Each structure stands twice: as C-alpha cells, then as structure tokens.
A = this chain, B = another copy of it.
Amino acid sequence: MSPVTNAAIDDDLWSAVGDPTRRRMLDLLLASGSGTSTSLSEQLPVSRQAVAKHLAVLERVGLTRVTPSGRERLYHVDEAQLARAVAQLSAVGEAWDARLARIKRIAETIQRNKK
C-alpha cells in the first residue's frame, strides 16, 4: 500500500492547512460564507497584511477563490478543494491508525506466544 503518507504529492495542501491561522481563517470563511482581508483580520489576532498573505497562500493551492467587488476583494472557500484536503487528513489519520492497530496486534501475538 505505498508509504503511509501520500508522500510529496500533496504537501502543498497539507502545509496550507497546517498553519493554525489559516485553519481559523477557513473556519471563519465557512461560518460566514465569505470575507475580506480586513473583515477576517478583525476576527483574528493578526494584522490585515498577515491575513492577506495567508489568503494568497490559500488561493495558490486552490482552497479559496476571490471575487473583486468594487474596492473589496471577497474571498470564499472552494468547497471541492477543501473536501480534498479533508480527504488527505483522513487518509493520513487512517494510515496511522492502521499502523497502531497492527502494532497492537503484533504485541498481543508476542504476548500469546511467550505464554
């Protein structure tokens, strides 16, 4: 079954979602449907510029898309891509779970054998 993690393939998605600030931004965007760098920064402990950089990262990996509207730039989550990211997380989690289960099973076998 190939290496446990999907290796280099989606490190970009992982590292995008790996940052706590970006995770919270995604939460906020999911909760309110959309937001701008300014509106998000008001709900976060970081500056508008920091938020803007994060939005650039999220956009680069396709997790968000932007709709310029007047002088505002309205961001919203790309649901399909987020679903993909969730799948990645699940995959890694399940792989580790499987490893842990296997280890446990082996440990029990040893236990049994040395009876």
Contact = CB atoms under 8 A, between A and B. Distances in A.
Interface of A: 3-5, 7-8, 11, 14-15, 18-20, 23-24, 26-27, 30-31, 79, 82-83, 85-86, 89-90, 92-93, 95-97, 99-100, 103-104
Contacts of A8: 20
A96 B3 contact: no
How many subunits of this chain does the assembly comprise?
2
Given A96-B82, A99-B30, A24 B3 contact: yes
A15 B20 contact: yes
Nearest to A24: B5
Please classify the interface of chain A as helix (H, G, I), strand (E, B), loop, or mixed, using the class held by over half of its residues. helix
Contacts of A90: 89-90, 93
Given A15-B18, A30-B99, 20 more contacts: A3-B27, A5-B27, A7-B24, A8-B20, A14-B23, A15-B20, A27-B95, A27-B99, A30-B103, A31-B99, A79-B100, A82-B100, A83-B97, A85-B96, A86-B100, A89-B89, A89-B90, A89-B92, A89-B93, A90-B93
Nearest to A20: B11
